[in-house]
Amino acid sequence: MSAGAIPLIRLRGVTKTYGQGDLAFQALKGVDLDIAQGDFVAIMGPSGSGKSTAMNTLGCLDRPTTGEYLFKGVPVQGLDRDERARLRRRYFGFVFQGFHLLPRTSAQENVELPLLYRGETTAQRHAAAQKALEAVGLNGWEHHTPAELSGGQQQRVAIARAIVSNPVVLLADEPTGNLDSQRSAEIMQLLWQLNQVQGITVLMVTHEPEMAAYARRIVHFRDGLLDSDQPNTPFPLRGGQGGGHAPALQGSVAQEVQ
Ligand code: ADP
């Protein structure tokens, strides 16, 4: 990023206080953070250090109590609930530890959900969901319900749902928390590819160093403050799994990602 350029995300002096009066608790105590488009940031820190609060703030799910959040230079703290919802739908995709898929609904329909609000035709929704499922390696699994899929496959469906609307930023909160180490590595490889190949900015909360190793940058929270911010050579570029030979994602939606 050139000097003076506006980063995709800029936090300045961000605080978040839960509750009021005697019960008030300050979960963020003045966070400064710049995130460039295309970065892959792992957010680490002990339990209670403010990671989820930071994530909710970054994803425009919640507003800072004080301080400034600029998204593409636009002050998010000044937006009302509906405006923040529009910003989220346009720019953000979310992936959670628990997948959060609708149980009796096919992979295809789960992935189409975010598009229902966008006024697209059925054919457009089908095509976009198909492409996203291809991108996460789930060709042929479109009509399976979550119960018929493994945990790793369910998380792939959730990632397909998160990328189907071509987000600029993918927020992942402990995305491998419910998976064994082999499935975890596959999900991390996929997130790394989405960042490396498609240029999606990835912000991921994790407490596992093996998962953070896939990021380009590792930030640590402690007691509501950022206490370190280090660049990292992503594991696949260190000659690890997929090193230097990341296959182009099938059905790439890269051209649609700004
Ligand atoms: P982490 O994700 O690092 O575990 P959190 O951001 O979830 O940390 O929480 C930071 C602190 O804020 C914790 O002490 C937690 O108990 C408190 N906290 C989080 N959410 C709320 C809430 N809705 N109301 C009151 N306190 C909260």
In this structure, is the dihedral angle defined by the CA atoms of residues 176, 178, 179 and 180, taken in order, positive or negative?
positive
Helices and strands (DSSP H and E) totals, the chain: 7, 10
3-state helix, strand, coil in the chain (%, to 5): 35, 25, 40
Q: What is the pLDDT of residue 250?
A: 40
Return the residue matching tokens 């060709």: 139
Question: Distance between terminal CA atoms of the chain?
Answer: 16
Q: What is the pLDDT along the chain (258 residues), one digit of tens a residue?
A: 555 678 999 999 999 999 999 999 999 999 999 999 999 999 999 999 999 999 999 999 999 999 999 999 999 988 999 999 999 999 999 999 888 999 999 999 999 999 987 788 999 999 999 999 999 999 999 999 999 999 999 999 999 999 999 999 999 999 999 989 999 999 999 999 999 999 999 999 999 999 999 999 999 999 999 999 999 999 999 875 544 433 344 433 333 222
Tokens (6 digits) for 26: 């300050």
Q: What is the pLDDT of residue 19?
A: 94
For 230, the enclosing helix (H) or strand (E) is strand 225-231
CB-ligand 1 contact for 24 (6 Å cutoff): no
Minimal-distance CA residue to ligand 1 atom 27: 18
Residue pair 68/11 in contact by the 8 Å Cβ criterion = yes
* Crossing angle between the packed helical segments 151-163 and 181-196, to the nearest 10 degrees: 20
CB-ligand 1 contact for 52 (6 Å cutoff): yes
Q: What is the pLDDT of residue 249?
A: 43
